[in-house]
């Protein structure tokens, strides 16, 4: 019999995430309970372990198996030009202020399979800013990162990507962004070479650089409030003084986050850093 998400108890979840933290140093203990339980139930079905116990022993015995499980414990869902009105706002209202700046440093935290970074690279190019931009893209999942680095996507997506591009950047054609092959499409090298990829866990890895723009869209939805505040502080510290911080449409934050960020545009979830001497 297969175990469903609602049959996994809070104690079982706590024990498993605690054991994973001890064994692999990857911390899911403050992830949102419901989505973790759904992820575990997905893994039980996919790997036919029958129960949490079966999954548990496989996870703790086999590092490679566990690394493959990360994608099911989180969610990699992403898209090119996800939330078009956000990209229009960024393009029309935010990026002009960087015209006179010597260089632009951007961090995509939780970049998944790369569509968000490549969208940004295309928008930066359209604003004639790509040549002086450096994009740093990080994710917990090595499999998602490998796909992002590859920049190869299914040809079946071409219609959707084309619609996305043409709606928001009418001067750009799909052939300028992707090489199109019989079996797949591949992001052009001029975008790929601007991006520095790294595996990075927002929960416990430090950041040594400073950025002008940080994206963390649809990542913290899986964190509880304490973890959200910890990670928001990391973003606050990692932003330059006039830095811009961008989150997803469904990201919800505790009230105390207002001491760190204030809205530049609430609808498209674009924020700017609050400078507060008592925080630094």
Ligand X SMILES: C[S@@+](CC[C@H](N)C(=O)[O-])C[C@H]1O[C@@H](n2cnc3c(N)ncnc32)[C@H](O)[C@@H]1O
Distance CA 184, CA 119 (A): 18
> Which two three-digit tokens encode residue 228?
């959200």
Q: State the minimum distance, in angstroms, from the CB of residue 43 to ligand X.
A: 15
Name which of 124 and 219 has its Cβ closer to ligand X: 219
Name which of 91 and 132 has its Cβ closer to ligand X: 91
Distance CA 237, CA 109 (A): 14
Specify the DSSP element, H or E, that contains 57.
Answer: helix 52-61
Q: State the minimum distance, in angstroms, from the CB of residue 24 to ligand X.
A: 13
Name which of 112 and 257 has its Cβ closer to ligand X: 112
Binding footprint of ligand X on the chain (CB under 6 A): 74-78, 82, 110-112, 116, 139-141, 144, 201-203, 217-219, 248
The residue to which tokens 């199109």 are assigned: 180
Name which of 192 and 217 has its Cβ closer to ligand X: 217
Q: State the minimum distance, in angstroms, from the CB of residue 53 to ligand X.
A: 25
Distance CA 189, CA 280 (A): 40
Q: Which of 149, 147, 142, 138 is nearest to 109 (CA)?
A: 138
Q: State the minimum distance, in angstroms, from the CB of residue 68 to ligand X.
A: 12
Q: State the minimum distance, in angstroms, from the CB of residue 102 to ligand X.
A: 27
Q: State the minimum distance, in angstroms, from the CB of residue 219 to ligand X.
A: 4
Name which of 74 and 257 has its Cβ closer to ligand X: 74
Q: Reduced to 3 states, what is the DSSP secondary structure of residue 122?
A: helix
Distance CA 80, CA 75 (A): 16
Q: State the minimum distance, in angstroms, from the CB of residue 229 to ligand X.
A: 14
Distance CA 201, CA 137 (A): 12
Q: At what angle do helices 63-73 and 33-46 cross, to 10 degrees?
A: 130
Name which of 41 and 111 has its Cβ closer to ligand X: 111
Name which of 60 and 207 has its Cβ closer to ligand X: 207
Contact 46, 3 (CB under 8 A): no
State residue 182 phi and psi, 5-degree precision. Answer: -55, -35
> Which two three-digit tokens encode residue 134?
């450096």
């Amino acid at each position: 019999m297969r175990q469903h998400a609602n049959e996994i108890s809070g104690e079982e979840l706590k024990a498993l995430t605690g054991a994973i933290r001890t064994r692999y140093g990857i911390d899911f203990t403050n992830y949102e309970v419901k989505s973790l339980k759904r992820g575990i139930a997905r893994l039980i079905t996919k790997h036919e372990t029958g129960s949490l116990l079966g999954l548990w022993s496989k996870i703790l015995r086999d590092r490679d198996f566990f690394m493959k499980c990360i994608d099911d414990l989180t969610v990699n869902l992403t898209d090119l030009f996800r939330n078009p009105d956000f990209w229009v706002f960024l393009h029309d209202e935010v990026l002009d202020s960087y015209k006179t700046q010597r260089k632009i440093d951007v961090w995509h935290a939780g970049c998944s399979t790369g569509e968000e970074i490549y969208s940004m690279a295309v928008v930066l190019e359209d604003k004639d800013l790509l040549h002086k931009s450096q994009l740093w893209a990080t994710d917990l999942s090595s499999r998602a990162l490998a796909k992002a680095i590859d920049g190869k996507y299914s040809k079946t997506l071409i219609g959707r990507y084309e619609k996305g591009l043409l709606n928001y950047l009418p001067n750009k054609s799909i052939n300028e962004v992707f090489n199109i092959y019989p079996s797949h499409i591949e992001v052009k090298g001029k975008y790929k070479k601007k991006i520095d990829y790294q595996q990075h866990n927002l929960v416990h890895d430090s950041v040594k650089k400073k950025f002008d723009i940080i994206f963390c869209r649809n990542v913290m939805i899986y964190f509880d409030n304490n973890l959200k505040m910890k990670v928001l502080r990391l973003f606050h510290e990692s932003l330059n003084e006039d830095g811009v911080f961008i989150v997803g449409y469904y990201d919800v934050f505790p009230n105390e986050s207002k001491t760190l960020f204030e809205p530049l545009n609430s609808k498209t979830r674009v924020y700017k850093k609050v400078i507060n001497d008592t925080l630094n």
